[in-house]
Structure 1
Amino acid sequence: MAQEKPLRIILADDHQIFREGLRTLLEKQPATRVVGEAADGREAVRLAARLQPDLVVMDISMPVMNGIEASRQILADNPDTFIVGLSMHADCRFVLETLKAGARGYLLKDSAFEELAAAIREVRLGRIYLSPAATDLVVRDFLQREQPARAPGAFGLLSSREREVLQLIAEGRSTKEIAADLGISAKTVETHRKQIMHKLKLFSIAELTKYAIREGLTPP
């Protein structure tokens, strides 16, 4: 009988101790191999392009690039990659935006490991997996839709590039550093910054930083 091909996984999370614990648990599963680890979203995108994993376990709140943007970029390059989002955010917006980005699963970080193992099995079968807590958030949001609509958040107001720039501004990067990180000119960064401020009606770096943290674009 032919040996089962190992499931190749990348772990993306900015906490090393969390990645190490998850790696240990995952590699105890049959035919499962962790082939790479990333501490931020941009590193996850680079690793995924180089290693072409079967699945990425993606933290949603990471520095440099958050997990939602990273998921979009990974799937744009390789649509066959499965992504399971892990998050501390018990907020329906994050569940829905993660799924819109193309992830096939969403779990809260206080979930048991058995739940992550179940999510991996389900998404490999082509199904979407939400942990019970995430499902509860989505159902509650659906039931409350008759209430006045909330103002659109960053994912509705800003383009993907503007969200990247906003996250880096909130993390204290200078215009030159942002330009170097994104491979664009300093003038283009300034244009994006002005557009972001205009769209959000926020006119200081402090206000932008608070907004980015509140919207989950960058870790607090």
Structure 2
Amino acid sequence: MSNHIKIALTDDELLFRKGILFMLEREENIEVILEASNGEQLLNFLDENPKNLPDIILMDLKMPLLNGVEATKIIQKKYPEIKIIALTSYDSKPFILNMIQEGASSYLVKNDSPKDMINTINEVHKNGFHYNESIMKILQEEILENNKKVKSKFDEDYLTSREKDVLILICKQYSTLEIAEKLFISPRTVDGHRNNLLLKTESKKITGLVVFAIQNGIITIDQINSRL
């Protein structure tokens, strides 16, 4: 995977957007290919530039014409390969859970540090998602609450032992190369296991695998946090 990351920056607050742009332009491996003030502008760009799609979209949630949540839903269907990082002033549990359920690869609050933002962008590009400890805690609380209402039907033999090994390392946010080195297999084999996991769990994205693993007791939040 190339280390070069193409970014689309979508936020209706001009001053804030320009500040983020200035920060990102200082990073050698990051290129901002689009600034948009609403979801409609963003979607128009994607539809008109199919050969120059961003790797990652920094997505504000509250915008005019088409907000970030609705834009995320559309993009997940039309351009599932694009990773979305929610960028918002709202850090409440419902907002975070909603964006994760819609397939967001990470969640940044606007008062997070520049270092956190750059790290999140690089981790999402490398691993497909990036959840910090606070997001993981919220995710686990929601899953545990739901599991009290609906008993899991997970069959222990549904996944092979190797698939479980790969799944645990994915949840710990290791990259493909790191997983390959730890399990003494090739990166291509890791990709094959990841694709099988997505099919078996009916997950559209890596984020779905994390939810599946916690929900079915394959990994605990403490195990995940040991890597974070």
**TM interval, short-chain normalised:** 0.5 to 0.7
Partner of 1:75: 76
**Residue identity matched to 1:55:** I
1:39 correspondence with 2:43: no
CA contact (8 A) 2:60 2:87 kept: yes
For residues 98-122 of structure 1, the C-alpha deviation after alignment (integer angstroms, 9 at most, x for no partner) is 1222210111111001111111111
Partner of 1:49: 47
For residues 170-206 of structure 1, the C-alpha deviation after alignment (integer angstroms, 9 at most, x for no partner) is xxxxxxxxxxxxxxxxxxxxxxxxxxxxxxxxxxxxx
1:143 Cα shift? 6.7
1:39 Cα shift? 0.8
1:45 Cα shift? 1.6
Partner of 1:155: none
Counterpart CA distance in 1 for 2:84 and 2:117 is 12
Point out the more displaced range, 40-49 or 53-62: 40-49
Counterpart CA distance in 2 for 1:108 and 1:92 is 12
**Residue identity matched to 2:87:** L
**C-alpha spacing 1:95/1:104, structure 2 compared with 1 (3 Å):** same
CA contact (8 A) 1:85 1:98 kept: yes
Counterpart CA distance in 2 for 1:64 and 1:15 is 14
CA contact (8 A) 2:9 2:35 kept: yes
1:95 Cα shift? 1.1
For residues 137-159 of structure 1, the C-alpha deviation after alignment (integer angstroms, 9 at most, x for no partner) is 445556777999xxxxxxxxxxx
CA contact (8 A) 2:55 2:125 kept: no
Partner of 1:96: 97
Give the gaps of 5 or more residues in structure 1.
149-220
CA contact (8 A) 1:5 1:31 kept: yes
State the TM-score, normalized to the length of structure 2: 0.56
For residues 78-111 of structure 1, the C-alpha deviation after alignment (integer angstroms, 9 at most, x for no partner) is 1111111111112111112112222101111110
Counterpart CA distance in 2 for 1:134 and 1:88 is 15
**C-alpha spacing 1:145/1:112, structure 2 compared with 1 (3 Å):** same
Counterpart CA distance in 1 for 2:103 and 2:142 is 20
Counterpart CA distance in 2 for 1:132 and 1:87 is 18
CA contact (8 A) 1:49 1:74 kept: no
Counterpart CA distance in 1 for 2:7 and 2:128 is 18
Counterpart CA distance in 1 for 2:134 and 2:109 is 7
1:47 Cα shift? 1.9
Q: Which stretches of structure 1, 4 residues or more, deviate above 6 A after TM superposition?
A: 143-148
Identity %: 26
State the TM-score, normalized to the length of structure 1: 0.58
Partner of 1:16: 14
**Residue identity matched to 1:7:** I
**C-alpha spacing 1:90/1:137, structure 2 compared with 1 (3 Å):** farther
Counterpart CA distance in 2 for 1:102 and 1:142 is 16
